[in-house]
Structure 1
Amino acid sequence: MPESPEVEALSRFLASEAAGREVREVDVLEYRVVKTRGTPPANIAGRSITGAARHGKHVELTLDEGALVVSLGRHGWMRWRTHDAAPDSAAADEPPALAALALSGARTLEVTDAGTWVSIGLFVVSTATDVPAIAKLGPDPADPAFTRARFDAAFGRRRKQIKAILQEQESMAGIGNAYSDEILHRARLSPLRHAAALSAAESDRLFDATVSTMREAIAARAGLPIDGLKAAKVASMRVHGRTGEACPVCGDTVRDLAFASTVAQYCPTCQNGGAPL
């Protein structure tokens, strides 16, 4: 799942490469991606892209009139082609393009989905906050304006597992399954702990780990080619996706835990006093 560090790098790339280009044509190959049927993506043909921005895990292409917002969902991404290639010309091992924007300057921006079901969405709106999921987003820990007070407001004394709260976009924007595992490992906290049970010291560690993990990841992804961001994310993980490997901090074996319709990877020694969950 794309999360804020990779989506931030993608939006910065688009702000640099797509801004100033005219949308010549929009080709939607999968009608289910269109979420604003009254204003379909074809309506933006002839408009110019003026910039790009990230909202949680969404990408906004700002236009000279309105905006195109892309919800990347679980397996969505974008592909930048420097020629007038047709969307179906992708290599066999590349995910299929479900929509494509032909831009001036012989560039094509494709919206892809590598999943077995359609998870991406395209919204043609006046402003990004017209997209319901963006309107409901909580504070973003990557934002310099993010404060401890906003963090405490998101967690409160809720009787809910902290991993679930980290991924709850209405509480904390931009974090998914992978980075929530990394945050909890850094904070030395079990994914099963409830927010209401955290001590003051544990809350301090969780706040510091949340902010530092997300901001350091964004800094690390800056300037990378967008087709290499997924690999960079995978390579940076200390526990997520590392089941059976040695924890880089203590050497214990990273374990897998399935609970409450999600899966977590964690270190028993670092996060649960040495006892497997």
Structure 2
Amino acid sequence: MPELPEVTALAAFLDRRLAGARVESVSFGSVHALKTADPPYSALIGRTVESVARRGKFVVVDTVPTDGPAADDGAPRLAVVVHLALGGWVRLLDHLPTAASARGKGYIAARFGFVRGEGEAREETGLDLTEAGTWKRLSVHIVRAPEEVPGIAALGPEPLAEGFSLEDFRAILGHRQQIKGLLRDQKIIAGIGNAYSDEILHAAKISPFALASTLDDDTTARLYAAMREVLAEAVEHAAGLPPEELKDEKRASMRVHRRTGEPCPVCGDTILEVSFADSALQYCPTCQTGGKPLADRRTSKFLK
């Protein structure tokens, strides 16, 4: 699943490509991808993209009436809010797309066409929202304000926000919850998922099963610093990359996530894995659990 660094880079790339373009066409390959009915998706046609930004793991495309005032000047807003879920991604075309294709492996959940300029200066851009895998969870909301999307309204603080201090971070660690799960909980802190929580905990030398509420002040400070450093570094590496390169960059930059059986880049010990029903985590026993392997989340006693 794309997380904060990849969604940040994706939103910035789309903003450069689409800001100022007019929405020419919208179609859906699956009614299940579209989560709203009012306003209808056809209301987007003819509007102009004002900006593309990120909120948590969501991509938010803000539009305003063409030839009208900007949203900041009171123009009625419509936003396209996209959550790519586990298997979703974006594909750009240099022409207007046809109707969305039928559902299937790697099917196109939605297609958007954009036009900038007229006559010889006319530029066309197609944008496909694709989704691989059996479970189709990609979602598209058409709303008047991003906060109308429940997932956005419930988001916790942004971990790289300038105002998100160490004291703010301490305040959210009062939950009696394993730290791995807390870092992934979008209602507690926004944008971090399975991959970067593995990377952050490895950098901070903390077991994924440690209880958040038991972390002392020094450990909390180390975790806060690791979180900010890992995410900021990943954002920097992803910046400017086109969508088709972002996934490869993410995989290449991982130090423990999906590196089961490989040597830890810090100590050389073998990276181990704990599997769950629908996911897995990776960690270094020497760096994170005092050399002890974690059996599973129900029976492991190695919490520090």
- Band the TM-score falls in, shorter-chain normalisation: over 0.9
Match of 1:120 among 123, 135, 138: 138
Q: Aligned partners of 1:87 and 1:240: how far apart in 2?
A: 38
Q: Aligned partners of 2:223 and 2:229: how far apart in 1?
A: 10
Paired position in structure 2 for 1:155: 173
Paired position in structure 2 for 1:44: 44
Equivalent residues of 2:147, 2:153 under 8 A apart: yes
Q: Aligned partners of 1:115 and 1:145: how far apart in 2?
A: 38
Q: Aligned partners of 2:37 and 2:239: how far apart in 1?
A: 35
Paired position in structure 2 for 1:72: 84
- Mark the runs of 5 or more structure 1 residues left unpaired by the alignment: none
Q: Which amino acid aligns with 1:275?
A: K
Q: Aligned partners of 1:201 and 1:260: how far apart in 2?
A: 33
Structure 1 residue 179 corresponds to structure 2 residue 196: yes
Shift of 1:149: 2.1
Q: Aligned partners of 2:17 and 2:27: how far apart in 1?
A: 20
Runs of 4+ in structure 1 over 4 Å off: 259-262
Paired position in structure 2 for 1:255: 272
For structure 1, which segment, 261-270 or 47-56, has the greater mean C-alpha deviation from structure 2 after superposition?
261-270
Shift of 1:154: 1.6
Q: State the identity as a percent.
A: 44
Corresponding residue SS for 2:113: strand
Q: Aligned partners of 2:40 and 2:132: how far apart in 1?
A: 23
Paired position in structure 2 for 1:98: 109
1:274 and 1:87, CA in 2 relative to 1: closer, same or farther beyond 3 A? farther
1:170 and 1:259, CA in 2 relative to 1: closer, same or farther beyond 3 A? same
Match of 2:235 among 218, 235, 239: 218
Paired position in structure 1 for 2:95: 83
Root-mean-square deviation (CA, aligned residues, Å) is 1.8
Q: Aligned partners of 1:182 and 1:119: how far apart in 2?
A: 25
- Mark the runs of 5 or more structure 2 residues left unpaired by the alignment: 65-76, 116-122, 295-304
Q: Aligned partners of 1:223 and 1:68: how far apart in 2?
A: 22
Equivalent residues of 2:97, 2:112 under 8 A apart: no
Which string of whole-angstrom CA distances, capped at 9 and with x for unpartnered residues, describes residues 220-256 of structure 1? 1001111110010000000000000000000000000
Equivalent residues of 2:176, 2:213 under 8 A apart: yes
Count of residues paired in the alignment: 274
Q: Aligned partners of 2:277 and 2:170: how far apart in 1?
A: 24
Shift of 1:276: 1.1
1:95 and 1:228, CA in 2 relative to 1: closer, same or farther beyond 3 A? farther
1:149 and 1:261, CA in 2 relative to 1: closer, same or farther beyond 3 A? farther
Paired position in structure 2 for 1:16: 16
Q: Aligned partners of 2:135 and 2:98: how far apart in 1?
A: 22
Structure 1 residue 209 corresponds to structure 2 residue 221: no
Equivalent residues of 1:34, 1:40 under 8 A apart: no
